[in-house]
């Protein structure tokens, strides 16, 4: 197991990096569509990328934050914003929501797994752990939409998003309870979450409407 540990840590770090970039791009896209200025676009990108994990850390009282420990990620997102600013000005280049749909689905799975994992380490009850996973995965996007003065897409578009994270979170918890190795729980959670999300997008699954 001892030689597995650093590999697992590296994988988790890579996972967070990829997810962070996808989430930052989703913020960039929405901010640009709302005609924010360059500062607004950067801030919304940062909120989308780090908001969920930071909220989780605040709730779990974990310090230092991910982006304090790995400050190079902050520089990376800042660079991403500058690059996007240059590239998006090319008339023949267009960034669309479709392009980030798949990395976003993967990011949702990865962030959820991270959130559940950290909460379980802190000995949180199972439901709380799942909710921390959901918070990590979903609240970056929620903060992004709230700053842009929109009802969060995740709560309104009737497409399964948070529900996928909820299901994936329980998979992680179940495997943890069965004392399965950490990498298998991580993998299963990501596969279930991202898989359900991909199915939902592909088959146009819709959440039931609500009547009052």
By CB under 8 A, name the binding residues for a copy of itself: 29, 31-41, 43-44, 54, 58-59, 61, 63, 65, 67-68, 71, 74-75, 78, 85, 88-89, 94-95, 124-125, 127-128, 131, 142, 146-152, 154-158, 160-163, 207-212
Cβ proximity to a copy of itself, 146 vs 199, nearer residue? 146
| CB nearer a copy of itself, residue 65 or residue 102 | 65
- Give min distance, CB of 53 to a copy of itself, in A: 12
Distance CA 22, CA 32 (A): 15
Q: Closest separation between CB of residue 157 and a copy of itself, Å?
A: 7
- Asked if 120 contacts 129 with a C-beta cutoff of 8 angstroms, the reply is yes
End-to-end CA distance of the chain: 54
At how many degrees (to 10) do helices 162-177 and 182-203 cross? 160
| Residue 148 or 187 having the CB closest to a copy of itself | 148
Whether the upstream peptide bond of residue 64 has omega within 30° of 0, thus cis, is yes
Q: Give min distance, CB of 135 to a copy of itself, in A.
A: 10
Name 59's Cβ contacts closer than 8 Å, sequence gap at least 6: 132, 135
**Which of 163, 199 has the CB closer to a copy of itself?**
163
SS3 category, 88: coil
Q: State the Cα angle at 85 between 38 and 49, rounded to 5°.
A: 75
From the CB of residue 152, how many other CB atoms can be counted at a distance below 10 Å?
18
At its nearest, how many Å lie between a copy of itself and the CB of residue 11?
Answer: 24
Output the smallest distance, CB 185 to a copy of itself, in A.
Answer: 21
Nearer to a copy of itself, 110 or 154 (CB): 154
Write down the least CB distance from residue 15 to a copy of itself, Å.
22
Nearer to a copy of itself, 154 or 188 (CB): 154
Based on the number of CB atoms within 10 Å of its own CB, is 113 exposed (0-12), middle (13-18) or buried (19 or more)? buried
């Amino acid at each position: 197991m001892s030689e597995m540990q650093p590999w697992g840590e590296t994988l988790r770090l890579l996972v967070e990096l990829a997810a962070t970039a996808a989430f930052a791009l989703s913020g960039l896209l929405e901010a640009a569509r709302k005609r924010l200025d360059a500062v607004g676009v950067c801030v919304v990108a940062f909120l989308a990328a780090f908001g969920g994990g930071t909220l989780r850390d605040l709730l779990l009282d974990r310090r230092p934050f991910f982006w304090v420990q790995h400050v190079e990620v902050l520089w990376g997102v800042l660079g991403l914003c500058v690059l996007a600013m240059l590239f998006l000005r090319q008339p023949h280049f267009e960034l669309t929501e479709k392009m980030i749909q798949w990395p976003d689905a993967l990011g949702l799975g990865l962030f959820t797994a991270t959130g559940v994992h950290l909460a379980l380490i802190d000995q949180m009850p199972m439901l709380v752990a799942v909710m921390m996973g959901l918070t990590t995965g979903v609240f970056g996007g929620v903060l992004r939409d709230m700053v842009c003065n929109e009802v969060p897409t995740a709560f309104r578009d009737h497409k399964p998003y948070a529900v996928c994270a909820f299901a994936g979170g329980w998979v992680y918890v179940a495997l943890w309870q069965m004392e399965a190795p950490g990498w298998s729980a991580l993998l299963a959670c990501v596969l279930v979450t991202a898989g359900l999300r991909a199915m939902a997008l592909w088959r146009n699954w819709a959440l039931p409407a609500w009547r009052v």
